[in-house]
């Protein structure tokens, strides 16, 4: 009987080419982040109001979030401050954290030329919601859009 003999491993003849170097990333981009701490910071020079809406209907799922804010300079070195002055009828308590998260992400992530915003006082003053269509995502996005709207009116300036 013949014995099943596996085929011996074959190797290419001659020299192998050197291994390829790892892919390189663009300057400033890499696994450690996008160097946000090295980007110049921005603040605002005057107060402004902003309004953001995220109202969509996709299939059976609806999204309804509406946020009205006012922003003002907070004083050099005082950082960002978010306060809630909205009545519960305008924005229920369960969505206030989502609104604050949207505002924080907008300020930290840079709605203005990708640069972080500092020393800004943000007041949540009003909004609207829908009993069946409102959710945290809708309010988070509405808050992001409200900050973007307000900052465009507040004359952003660079911080030294």
pLDDT tens by residue, 127-136: 999 888 889 9
Parent domain of 49? 39-158
State the pLDDT at residue 109: 81
- Residue 14's pLDDT band, with cuts at 50, 70 and 90, is low
Q: Is residue 100 pLDDT above 80, yes or no?
A: yes
Domain presence at residue 103: yes
User: For residue 26, is it within any domain?
Assistant: no
CATH of the domain at 80: 3.30.230.10
Task: Select from 60, 59, 65, 41 the least CA-distant residue to 117.
Answer: 41
Give the C-alpha separation, 56 to 65, whole Å.
9
Residue 1 lies in a domain: no
- The pLDDT value recorded for residue 111 is 82
Task: Judge whether 4 lies within some domain.
Answer: no
Confidence of residue 6 (pLDDT cuts 50, 70, 90): low
pLDDT of residue 160: 67
56 occurs within a structural domain: yes
What confidence score (pLDDT) does residue 62 get? 87
In a domain, 46, yes or no: yes
Which one has a higher pLDDT value, 120 or 29? 120
C-alpha count within 13 angstroms, C-beta hemisphere, residue 20: 3
Q: Categorize the per-residue pLDDT at 35 as very low, low, confident or very high, splitting at 50, 70 and 90.
A: low
The answer as to whether 65 is a domain residue is yes
The whole model's pTM is what? 0.73
What total number of domains does the chain contain? 1
Asked if residue 98 is part of any domain, the answer here is yes
């Amino acid at each position: 009987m013949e014995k099943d003999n596996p085929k011996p491993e074959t190797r290419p003849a001659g020299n192998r080419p050197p291994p390829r170097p790892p892919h390189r990333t663009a300057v400033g981009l890499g696994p450690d982040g996008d160097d946000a701490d090295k980007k110049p910071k921005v603040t605002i020079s005057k107060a402004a109001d902003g309004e953001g809406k995220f109202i969509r209907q996709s299939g059976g799922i609806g999204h309804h979030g509406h946020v009205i804010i006012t922003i003002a300079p907070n004083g050099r070195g005082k950082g960002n401050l978010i306060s809630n002055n909205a009545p519960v009828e305008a924005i229920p308590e369960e969505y206030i954290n989502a609104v604050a998260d949207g505002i924080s992400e907008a300020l930290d992530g840079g709605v203005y030329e990708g640069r972080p915003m500092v020393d800004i006082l943000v007041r949540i003053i009003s909004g609207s919601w829908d009993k069946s269509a409102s959710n945290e995502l809708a309010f988070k996005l509405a808050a992001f859009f409200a900050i973007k709207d307000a900052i465009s009116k507040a004359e952003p300036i660079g911080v030294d």
